[in-house]
Amino acid sequence: MSQKLKLNLSEKMYADALKIIPGAIAGIRRPYNFVPGEYPIYLDSAKGGKITDVDGNTYIDMLCAYGPIIIGHREEEIDNAVIEQMQNKGFCFSLTQPIQNRLAEKLIELIPSAEMAVFVKTGSDATSVAIRVARANTDRVKVIRCGYHGWHDWCVEVKGGIPQKFYEDVFEFHYNKLDELEDLMKKHGDETAAIIITPVGHPLAEKVQMPKPGFLEGVRALADKYGTLLIFDEIRSGFRFSLGGAQKVFGVTPDISVFGKAMANGYPIGSVVGKEKYMKVLADKVFLSSTFFPNSLEQIAALKTIEILERDNILDAIKTKGTAFGNKIEAIAKKSEWDIEVSGAPLMPFITFNKDPENLYKKLRPAFYTELIRRGVFLQPFHHGYIAFRHSDEDLNYAAMMIEESLGELKKYV
């Protein structure tokens, strides 16, 4: 029988923060995105594949900071490279340091769509730059989207504080629904600057989807038919599905791509890469500047992360670990009496409870994740997880066993 975690300090810090910070914590990290009262709210430390909260509870971290932790927390080789740059050279200058060129050259070497590259800080920065590039190249305004692309005005899901005119030219279709895109392009294609899509489907709280045969190829063909730029949002899939992104795995090359998250193992950096003829507008027609975009620490971290990923065949190892884990939880799901589905394995595993007429899934989902967090496995009810290199076989075997145990406890909740 599992016991509720002691979270006294976490809860106190949260109560204190509510008085001084709106919502206490930003967006997706707020308690309602987990199971309020059951999950920690503040973390204290991390190492390898595990995290420890402020109350001293330790968990196998299978959320990986929502994706950036591709190798593990506190990777000494990466951190030491950053510290060396900080101590011996500095990192925030009025001009750019040479590391920028080396990182751009590396991305161009690895990513099929990359002939030029620029660097920003976040995924939202990157997707917004990509849209600006597309609009500048086509002299069109409309955008057709599929996926989560960040928090900026044109794409954010919550519309508070945003005038309708900032997003009235943005239209959405669903992943693997090529007919929806065809209908939108018939209506808006001649005015559409960009189709932006995550090459792997990961809608909030729903199963992770891989492209059906011909789907991404069909998206590419429609973009070509209407003279629209195709943008792949590889913020989650980049440097995880392959060093060249999901585009390399699926064999469909976009005009522009955006990368981030796993690129620097937790350091804040994003990148926009693309074909030279489109990217060149950033030299004059499109303004891109920030005090902190050129900072070298994140670029050092990215280059070192990529070096380790290549040198140690990290992605192959992660796929092997993730495949074994995925096979275990898929077998557990098949035996379960509950209507659940496993998706996203081997790289982005997610256990979802299928919707039912009685809305039982709304009770089962928080109950399952309550049992799981009490057993020291950190996942999120509404977001897929990740496999990191530092997740040991022992960690993943334990996580699978705890998933099975947690499912076995659900009867007491209904």
Query: What are the boundaries of each domain within the chain?
Result: 8-73+314-413, 76-311
How many angstroms separate the CA atoms of 153 and 166, rounded?
6
How many other CB atoms are there within 10 angstroms of residue 284's CB atom? 8
Token digits of residue 332? 């557990």
- Rounded to whole angstroms, what are the CA distances from 269 to 113, 117, 171, 242, 354? 19, 13, 28, 18, 35
At residue 50, φ and ψ (nearest 5 deg) are: -130, 155
Maximum Cα interatomic distance, the chain, rounded to a whole number of Å = 64
* Contacts of 18 by beta carbon, 8 Å cutoff, 6+ apart: 24
Residue with tokens 């991390």: 46
**Mean pLDDT for all residues in the chain:** 97
φ, ψ of residue 259 in degrees (nearest 5): -130, 160
CA distances from 357 to 336, 338, 360, 411 (A): 19, 14, 8, 18
Q: Order the strands of the 377-378 sheet from edge to edge.
A: 43-47, 50-53, 58-61, 377-378
Tokens of 162: 């945003």
**In the beta sheet, which residues pair with residue 378?**
61
Amino acid identity at 195: I
Q: Within the chain, which residues score under 70 in pLDDT?
A: 1
Q: What is the 3-state composition of the chain as percent helix, strand, coil, each rounded to the nearest 5?
A: 45, 15, 40
Residues 76-311, CATH architecture = 3-Layer(aba) Sandwich (3.40)
The predicted pLDDT at position 42 comes to 98
Q: 8-73+314-413: which CATH architecture?
A: Alpha-Beta Complex (3.90)
For strand 350-353 and strand 170-172, is the pairing parallel, antiparallel, or unpaired?
unpaired
Q: What is the pLDDT, as a whole number, of residue 19?
A: 98
Reduce the DSSP state of residue 105 to 3 states and report it. helix
Tell me, what's the pLDDT at 66?
97
pLDDT digits (tens, 9 = 90+) for 142-181: 999 999 999 999 999 999 999 999 999 999 999 999 999 9
| Predicted pLDDT at 1 | 59
- The pLDDT of residue 2 is 79
Task: Identify the pLDDT of residue 123.
Answer: 97
Of residues 277, 255, 181, the one with CA closest to residue 222: 181
Q: What is the pLDDT of residue 246?
A: 98
